[in-house]
């Protein structure tokens, strides 16, 4: 076993002559890849407040409020697992490739959802809900139900 | 006889990034005995299995460790798949092999950096971590995450990797490998590195075997044992030769890991062009009923997953025996009689991941 002197000096001199390996953020940014899991975004127009993402999110980061008609995500709890995107029946969630800017305060991003759920007891004067076409609604209407979906759902897509 | 003193080492220590506490009984700068204590970061993940759907538990299994994350997720899936009698598609098996080897490379490169840091070689530390970024980029481009791959699922893989990307990876790997040679030469040849590693933390072949060492610890003491030889995923179609060193000291363990990095590059060069076409996952119906032990080779050594299902979506029992856990008794043996100043290096050469050990 032969010991050689100055092996590290050569590596160090090489680093000295090389361009910096780091990126001068925020002036320049590392490119994101198509596959990068950055953050969750919602197309709120398509959402029917079915609560599936809320129930299936492993960290409980999503809170869907049917009475207040909002979809909210706590980005500090979200682990970018992509599960909500996989299970959303209306395909309105997407995993964007870029990261969100760091937060200065702990809060949830609340998105109002312009969806009118069908009334449990339709009043005579009420106009019919325009987008009550989801077959999931009848099933999801049961209050307080926190059951998981059957396991084969997650492998469906 | 000299006085005996007890020096607490960890859980917060400048060179040790892991929360393990050792009470070192010292006599004249020599360690007589080391008494470990654990449990600073116990997370109760094994209990969580009773509350999570078995498919969703994959996300938790992946997060047992932040370094060998993929193999944890994959090992859990493999155990559940065996209980359910699923034969996953070929392409998924090959992709799993690819990701396992990528995680081995990035874990070993990270460890080399930490080792350099432990013996005070900051420049080498940074050089290792800079090169590791190249591997992390490949991991991010293929799986979407830098360290948490999020690609394992019961029944295959959660995402497919396009063929053109698979064809592009070998060039990226070759670039990293070329640069890595200069760095690993430093570990192999440098005078000061050898002074810190050679003959330090000796573990004899018998001790390694008897105390249940796993992975590079065991192989550096001359025992040719590698769970990849069991042929899980696509390893039954790849020739894997266990990398063995005879010296049993810190330097031997370093050499085993360095040679394993190059071996993983070779395996990847074989795997990438041979990934067969086809689907990457399958539909799963029903729930696991029965029990199984899965054994996989992680960068740190052999890991064991025990899964017991009762026919419902919620598993009865899940247990992980992580490699660090198995390597603690040999570590205590190695610490007996060593110099106090060598303790950080010796602890690091088991590649400790205390968070894994405390699931
Ligand atoms: S799963 Fe999709 S449709 Fe249902 S509440 Fe969530 S975002 Fe809306
Ligand atoms: S990505 Fe995962 S953790 Fe984040 S909101 Fe979706 S399901 Fe929850």
pLDDT tens across B122-164, in order?
A: 888 888 888 898 898 888 888 888 888 888 888 888 888 888 8
Tell whether B110 lies on the interface with A, counting CB pairs under 8 A: no
Q: How far is the CA of B192 from the centre of ligand 2 (A)?
A: 48
Q: How far is the CA of A61 from the centre of ligand 2 (A)?
A: 6
B4: which strand partners?
A: B27
Residue closest by Cα to atom 2 of ligand 2: A81
The single residue listed with the structure tokens 């396992």 is B100
Quote the CA–CA distance of B172 and B176 in Å, as a whole number.
7
Ligand nearest to the CA of A85: 2
Q: What is each CA distance from B315 to B49, B282, B293, B339, in whole angstroms?
A: 6, 21, 14, 47
Quote the CA–CA distance of A5 and B9 in Å, as a whole number.
34
pTM score of the predicted model: 0.83
Quote the DSSP letter at residue B281.
Answer: B
Tell whether A119 lies on the interface with B, counting CB pairs under 8 A: no
Tell whether B295 lies on the interface with A, counting CB pairs under 8 A: no
Quote the CA–CA distance of B186 and B302 in Å, as a whole number.
28
At A28-50, the pLDDT tens digits run 888 888 888 888 888 888 888 88
Sorting pLDDT into bands at 50, 70 and 90, what band is A142?
A: very low
What is the pLDDT, as a whole number, of residue A3?
Answer: 67
Cβ–Cβ gap A148/B53 under 8 Å: yes
Cβ–Cβ gap A4/B285 under 8 Å: no
For an interface test with A, the pick among B50, B58, B59 (most A C-beta atoms closer than 10 Å) comes out as B59
Nearest Cβ partner of A36 from B140, B154, B158?
A: B140
Quote the CA–CA distance of B120 and B348 in Å, as a whole number.
13
What is the pLDDT, as a whole number, of residue A132?
Answer: 45
Tell whether A16 lies on the interface with B, counting CB pairs under 8 A: no
Q: Which of A57, A94, A110 to mutate to test the pocket of ligand 2 (most atoms within 8 A of CB)?
A: A57
- Cβ–Cβ < 8 Å for A51, A62: no
User: Where along chain A do its domains lie?
Assistant: 30-112
Other Cβ atoms less than 10 A from the Cβ of A80: the count is 18
Quote the CA–CA distance of B349 and B187 in Å, as a whole number.
13
Polymer length of chain B: 359
Q: Is the pLDDT of residue B47 over 70?
A: yes
Tell whether A7 lies on the interface with B, counting CB pairs under 8 A: yes
Q: Does the A30-112 domain belong in CATH 3.30.70.3270?
A: yes
If residue B36 lies in a helix (H) or strand (E), which one and from where to where? strand B30-37
Q: Is B83 exposed, middle or buried (0-12, 13-18, 19+ CB in 10 A)?
A: buried
Mean pLDDT, to the nearest integer, of A85-89? 88
- Cβ–Cβ < 8 Å for B55, A153: no
Quote the CA–CA distance of B268 and B101 in Å, as a whole number.
7
Quote the CA–CA distance of B8 and B20 in Å, as a whole number.
10
Please give the domain boundaries of chain B with CATH numbers for all domains: 44-326 (1.10.645.10)
Both structure tokens of B245: 């060193």
Quote the CA–CA distance of B63 and A80 in Å, as a whole number.
12
Interface ipTM: 0.73
State the average pLDDT for chain B. 85
Task: Give the residue with greater pLDDT, A1 vs B356.
Answer: B356
- Cβ–Cβ < 8 Å for B348, B115: yes
Tell whether A13 lies on the interface with B, counting CB pairs under 8 A: no
Question: Of chain B residues 147-186, which have a CB less than 8 A from chain A?
Answer: 148, 150, 153-155, 158-159, 182-183, 185-186
Cβ–Cβ gap B56/A3 under 8 Å: no
Cβ–Cβ gap A8/B282 under 8 Å: no
Q: Is the pLDDT of residue B189 over 60?
A: yes
- Cβ–Cβ < 8 Å for B91, B277: yes
């Amino acid at each position: 076993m032969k010991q050689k002197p100055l092996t590290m000096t050569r590596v160090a001199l090489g680093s000295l002559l090389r361009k910096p390996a780091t990126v001068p953020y925020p002036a320049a940014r590392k490119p994101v890849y198509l596959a990068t899991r950055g953050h969750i975004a919602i197309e709120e127009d398509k959402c029917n407040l079915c609560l599936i993402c809320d129930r299936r999110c492993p960290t409980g980061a999503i809170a869907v409020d049917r009475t207040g008609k909002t979809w909210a995500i706590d980005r500090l709890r979200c682990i970018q697992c992509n599960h909500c995107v996989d299970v959303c029946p209306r395909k309105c969630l997407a995993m964007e490739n870029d990261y969100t800017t760091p937060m200065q305060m702990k809060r949830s991003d609340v998105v109002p959802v312009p969806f009118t759920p069908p009334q449990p007891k339709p009043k005579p004067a009420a106009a019919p809900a325009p987008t009550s076409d989801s077959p999931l609604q009848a099933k999801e209407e049961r209050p307080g139900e926190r059951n998981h979906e059957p396991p084969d759902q997650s492998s469906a897509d | 006889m000299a006085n005996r003193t007890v020096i607490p080492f960890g859980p917060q220590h400048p060179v040790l990034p892991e929360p393990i506490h050792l009470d070192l009984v010292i006599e004249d700068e020599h360690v007589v005995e080391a008494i470990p204590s654990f449990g600073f970061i116990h997370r109760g993940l094994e209990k969580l299995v009773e509350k999570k759907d078995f498919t969703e538990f994959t996300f938790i299994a992946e997060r047992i460790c932040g370094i060998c994350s993929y193999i944890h997720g994959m090992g859990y899936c493999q155990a559940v798949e065996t209980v359910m009698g699923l034969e996953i598609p070929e392409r998924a098996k090959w992709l799993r092999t690819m990701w396992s080897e990528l995680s081995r490379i990035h874990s070993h490169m990270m460890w080399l950096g930490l080792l350099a840091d432990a013996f005070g070689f900051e420049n080498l530390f940074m050089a290792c971590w800079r090169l590791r970024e190249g591997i992390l980029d490949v991991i991010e481009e293929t799986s979407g995450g830098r360290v948490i791959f999020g690609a394992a699922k019961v029944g295959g893989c959660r995402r497919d990797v396009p063929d053109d990307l698979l064809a592009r990876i070998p060039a990226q790997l070759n670039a990293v490998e070329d640069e890595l040679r200069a760095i690993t030469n430093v570990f192999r040849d440098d005078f000061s590195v050898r002074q810190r590693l050679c003959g330090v933390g000796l573990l004899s072949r018998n001790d390694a075997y008897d105390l249940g060492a796993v992975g590079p610890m065991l192989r550096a003491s001359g025992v040719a044992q590698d769970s990849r030889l069991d042929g899980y995923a696509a390893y039954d179609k790849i020739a894997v030769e266990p990398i063995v060193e005879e010296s049993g000291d810190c330097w031997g363990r370093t050499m085993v890991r360095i040679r394993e990095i190059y071996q993983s590059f070779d395996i990847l060069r074989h795997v990438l062009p041979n990934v067969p076409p086809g689907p990457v996952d399958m539909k799963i119906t029903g729930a696991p009923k029965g029990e199984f032990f899965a054994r996989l080779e992680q960068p740190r050594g052999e890991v064991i997953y025990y899964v017991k299902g009762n026919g419902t979506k919620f598993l009865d029992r899940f247990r992980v025996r992580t490699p660090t856990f198995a390597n603690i008794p040999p570590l205590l043996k190695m610490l007996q009689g060593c110099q106090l100043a060598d303790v950080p290096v010796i602890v690091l050469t088991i590649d400790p991941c205390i968070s894994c050990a405390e699931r």
